[in-house]
């Protein structure tokens, strides 16, 4: 392989977005992925994209190719307590507070754009950065090993080991059960976030159905997964309440929920992005949105840099992203810890908080703009 200026490890949505953001720079960019090309197109997950993410995807030239369902209203409530709040797109002059897309559709649009731009992508290739030798990467493909010394390596694939001292971990002792559910009446492009003692239940409009993220304790999640579709539908309806009726649910899967934060997402000629940098609880749907803000900020620093791996360049990126990264992680972490319990004093405080958001537009706007644009958004 001809040594690139920037080697991006991982051809998922985060890695491909970075490559596209750098396509008009003077740097030679190469993507490598351990999977066969196109594997990400089969990703069954659903993503909630903020308005700011939509703007970035428009800049990358892929938004018009995405089958996206707009979120025009957001309804937040708690089970067994008073208080609720609603956010409407009309208050902000936007076409959708956010949008819901299938991860596979997003990967397809990005992969098509990568091919059209002629960006090199090497599939079936494992890449192992050597943190002790700056820029050194060991590539393994079809049994052959090659060493590269790159000015910058961007790691955008894989998770983080819980036993790694460089990783801060909080285990929420919750699992997310995900599925698709069909409403009895049109959803009206409303997204629902319902806080329950076992964790939040989110219903996101996706096509004519809802994408469901049903949070529960690990034991309860296992029991929910074992139910047949009719029994699970009844359990979901009970957890969510009867604000709307659901008539079908199918395609369940589950995964454990943790907060994992890499303490320093920048090393010597090395940067981590996406799930390699942080994994957030899905409440409020901020994980991919934060990752894409990281990508756009990093690309802005790299485009005109003579040496993309220069320590000053990466330090500038780290300073720029510190507030948003810490603020977004802290926001989602606080939501989970405050709302995932049934203590009467906290239940009452939560109700007062939701009521305050509903009655005080400035507070609601403060929250909504940060949901759309990140923790560094202006009021």
**φ and ψ of 373, to 5 deg:** -130, -5
The Cα–Cα gap between 70 and 112 comes to 23
The HSE-up count of residue 308 (CA atoms within 13 Å, CB side) is 24
- Please count the helices (runs of H) and the strands (runs of E) in the chain: 9, 20
Q: What pLDDT score was predicted for residue 53?
A: 94
CATH number for 196: 3.30.9.10
**The domain that contains 23 carries what CATH number?**
3.50.50.60
Does position 373 have pLDDT exceeding 80, yes or no?
no
Q: Pick left, alpha or beta for residue 31 (phi over 0 → left; psi -120 to 50 → alpha; otherwise beta).
A: beta
**Domain hosting residue 230, numbered range:** 172-257
Q: Are residues 316 and 192 in the same domain?
A: no
Residues 187 and 333 in one domain: no
Provide the mean pLDDT of the chain.
89
Q: What is the separation, in whole angstroms, between the first and last Cα of the chain? A: 48
Q: 196 in a domain, yes or no? A: yes
Reported confidence tier of residue 377, pLDDT bands at 50, 70, 90:
very low
Residue 212 sits in the same domain as residue 284 = no
Q: Please enumerate in sequence order all residues whose Cβ is within 8 A of that of 274, keeping only pairs 6 or more positions apart, or say none.
A: 10, 12, 13, 14, 15, 156, 157, 288, 291, 294
Q: Are residues 142 and 41 both part of a single domain?
A: yes
Residue 297, in any domain of the structure: yes
User: 44-90: per-residue pLDDT in tens?
Assistant: 889 999 999 999 999 999 999 999 999 999 998 887 666 678 889 98
| CB distance 151 to 308 below 8 Å | yes
pLDDT digits (tens, 9 = 90+) for 110-134: 999 999 999 999 999 999 988 788 9
Work out the average pLDDT over 31-38: 94
* 355 domain-assigned: no
Which tokens sit at 304?
């005109």
- C-alpha distances out from residue 369 to 91, 141, 373, Å: 11, 45, 6
Least confident of 161-175, 316-330, 343-357: 343-357
Residues 43 and 186 in one domain: no
pLDDT value of residue 87: 86
CA pair distance 363, 71, nearest whole angstrom: 20
Q: What is the pLDDT of residue 369?
A: 63
CB 35 within 8 A of CB 182: no
Task: Check residue 378 and give its pLDDT.
Answer: 39
Asked if 163 and 112 sit in the same domain, the reply is: yes
Residues 249 and 292 in one domain: no
87 lies in some domain: no
Is residue 162 predicted with pLDDT exceeding 80? Answer: no
Shared domain check, 137 and 112: yes
Greatest Cα pair distance, the chain, in angstroms, is 64
Q: What is the reported pTM?
A: 0.91
Assess whether pLDDT exceeds 80 at residue 287: yes
Tokens of 318: 């780290």
Closest CA to 176 of 49, 260, 282, 333: 282
* Residue 304 DSSP code: T
Residues 197 and 114 in one domain: no
3-class SS of residue 350: helix
Residues 29 and 114 in one domain: yes
159 plus 275 within the same structural domain: yes
Closest by Cα among 116, 110, 135 to 33: 110
Please give the Cα distance from 368 to 71 (Å, whole number): 13
| Two structure tokens written together for 363 | 């507070």
pLDDT, tens digit (0-9, with 9 covering 90-100), for 334-363? 878 777 666 565 556 656 666 665 656 666
CA separation for the pair 50, 72 (Å, rounded): 12
Q: Tell me: pLDDT of 158 over 80.
A: no
Task: Note the pLDDT of residue 84.
Answer: 76
Domain termination residue (choose one: 235, 257, 279): 257
Domains held by the chain: number: 2
Phi, psi of 7 (to 5 degrees): -100, 120
300 and 272 within one domain: yes
Q: How confident is the model at residue 179 (pLDDT cuts 50, 70, 90)?
A: very high
pLDDT over threshold 90, residue 265: yes
């Amino acid at each position: 392989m001809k040594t690139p200026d920037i080697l991006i490890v991982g051809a998922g949505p985060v890695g491909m977005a970075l490559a596209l953001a750098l396509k008009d720079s003077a740097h030679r960019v190469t993507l490598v992925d351990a999977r066969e090309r196109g594997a990400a197109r089969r990703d069954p997950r659903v993503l909630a994209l903020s308005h700011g993410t939509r703007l970035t995807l428009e800049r990358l030239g892929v938004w018009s190719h995405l089958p996206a369902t707009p979120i025009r209203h957001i309804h937040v409530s708690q089970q067994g307590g008073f208080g609720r709040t609603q956010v409407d797109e009309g208050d902000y002059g936007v076409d959708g507070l956010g949008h819901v897309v299938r991860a596979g559709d997003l990967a397809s649009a990005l992969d098509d754009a990568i091919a059209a731009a002629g960006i090199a992508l090497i599939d079936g290739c494992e890449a192992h950065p050597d943190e002790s030798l700056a820029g050194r990467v060991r590539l393994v493909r079809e049994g052959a090993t090659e060493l590269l010394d790159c000015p910058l390596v961007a790691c955008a694939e894989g998770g983080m080991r819980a036993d790694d001292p460089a990783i801060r971990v909080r285990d929420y002792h919750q699992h997310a059960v995900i599925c698709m559910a069909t409403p009895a009446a049109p959803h009206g492009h409303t997204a629902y976030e319902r806080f329950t003692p076992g964790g939040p239940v989110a219903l996101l409009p996706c096509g004519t159905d809802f994408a469901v993220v049903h949070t529960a304790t690990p034991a309860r999640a296992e029991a929910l997964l074992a139910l047949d579709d009719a029994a699970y539908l009844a359990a979901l309806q009970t957890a969510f309440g009867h604000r709307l009726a659901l008539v079908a649910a199918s395609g369940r899967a589950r995964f454990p929920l943790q907060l994992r934060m890499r303490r320093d997402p920048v090393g010597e000629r090395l940067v981590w992005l996406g799930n390699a940098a942080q994994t957030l609880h899905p409440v409020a749907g901020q994980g991919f949105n934060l990752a894409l803000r990281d990508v756009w900020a990093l690309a802005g620093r790299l485009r005109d840099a003579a040496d993309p791996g220069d320590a000053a360049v990466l330090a500038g990126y780290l300073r720029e992203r510190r507030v948003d990264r810490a603020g977004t992680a802290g926001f989602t972490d606080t939501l989970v810890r405050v709302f995932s319990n049934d203590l009467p004093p906290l239940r009452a405080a939560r109700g007062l908080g939701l009521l305050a958001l509903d009655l005080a537009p400035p507070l609601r706007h403060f929250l909504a703009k940060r949901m759309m644009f990140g923790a560094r958004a202006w009021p």
